[in-house]
Structure 1
Amino acid sequence: MGVKGKLIASVEVKCGGHLVHDIFHTKTHHISNICPSKIQNFEIHEGDSVKVGSVVSWKYNDDGKDKISKQMIEAIDHETKTITWKLIGGDLLELYNSFTIITSCDHEWTTWTFLYEKKTEDIPEPLVLLGFVLHVTKDIEGHLLK
């Protein structure tokens, strides 16, 4: 059994957290246009939109390396503006036995929570990825403020 971890980071978004949530929930396919240097592609494999049970994938560039993340949408709560994404494939699962990403938005804040289990103790904490998603959030904020 690996070492379990939890990372949480919040970033202020002047456009309002609800607008960031709307991008991730209903306009997810626009994210690759908003920040093309970070996100190259978003695709829905199962389902016709981002809804519970949908399987999606992202092609992204993290720390100068092209990567893939395949996820299942586990939960969406419209009241708390929360989406839970469970990894089911891709590069992160080479390092982690399990990895769940929770995005939530409240007023002028967007919060990212990572729940994960490292395969071994020497696997680094996913701090670079956390910084990456915070930068994507700020790119989305900049787009929405235009």
Structure 2
Amino acid sequence: MSLAGKISSEIGVHATAAKWFNLFATKLHHVQNLSDRIHGTKLHRGQDWHHSESIKHWTYTIDGKVTTCQESIESVDEANKTIIYKLFDGDIDHQFKLFKFVFQAIDKNSGGAIIKWTVEYERLSEEVDPPYGYIEYLHKCTRDIDGHLLKA
């Protein structure tokens, strides 16, 4: 059994792909105020929340457990409205050798957008379950955030 894998989820949302991408590309620090599942985040290292060398510290709830990690932006593709985040330290390093979130906002012809989340991971051992709880977490946070983006 492979220790590496990918899990993806696509969620239809009402706000436009441009609004979603703008939030995650230029206002990431606001996300903590848009979902109760995120308890807080702070800039751990760096001057700018969106610089690839900056590191943020996150506290959130996964599978009913308060969890922490650090995150940095690996890449931003404006043309495809895609951002790759690398998660590490904290609770992540106890279970995973590699852990990334891939965010993509895709316009729908009928209005609104599709938010595609992919979790790329490599588990430390077969005893570690695949991170299905993270897909559920991202799905629920997406629903919470969509309501706020519609008001903006």
Q: Same fold (TM over 0.5)?
A: yes
Match of 1:113 in 2: 118
Give % identity: 31
Deviation >3 Å, runs of 4+: none
Aligned residues: 144
What do the CA deviations read for 1:71-111 (whole angstroms, capped 9, x no partner)?
12111111111111112312122111111111111111111
Q: CA deviation at 1:145?
A: 1.7
Map Cα deviations across residues 29-59 of structure 1 (whole Å, 9 max, x no partner): 2112111x20111222233121222211211
Secondary structure of the structure 2 residue equivalent to 1:50: coil
Whole-Å Cα distance in 1 between the matches of residues 71 and 145 of structure 2?
Answer: 21
Task: Report the Cα distance in structure 2 between the residues aligned to 1:79 and 1:46, rounded to whole angstroms.
Answer: 28
1:131 aligns with 2:122: no
Q: Which runs of 5+ in 2 are unaligned?
A: 108-112
Is residue 60–residue 67 contact of structure 1 (8 Å, CA) maintained in 2?
A: yes
Partners in 2 of 1:63 and 1:121 — Cα distance?
A: 19
**Normalising by the residue count of structure 2, what TM-score does the alignment of the two structures yield?**
0.88
CA contact (8 A) 1:51 1:76 kept: no
| 2:83 counterpart residue number | 83
Q: Which residue does 1:41 correspond to in 2?
A: 40
2:3 and 2:125 in contact (8 A); partners too? yes
Match of 1:19 in 2: 19
Compute the displacement of 1:68 (Å): 0.7
Cα distance in 2 for partners of 1:59, 1:143 equals 20
Corresponding residue for residue 110 of structure 2: none
Question: Corresponding residue for 1:95?
Answer: 95
Aligned residue identity for 1:120: S
RMSD: 1.4
Say if 1:82 and 1:102, in contact at 8 Å, map to a contact too: yes
Q: Any conservation in 1 of the 2:26–2:50 contact (CA below 8 Å)?
A: yes
Contact persistence 1:41–1:58 (CA under 8 A) = yes
Work out whether residues 25 and 50 of structure 2, in 8 Å CA contact, stay in contact via their aligned partners in 1: yes
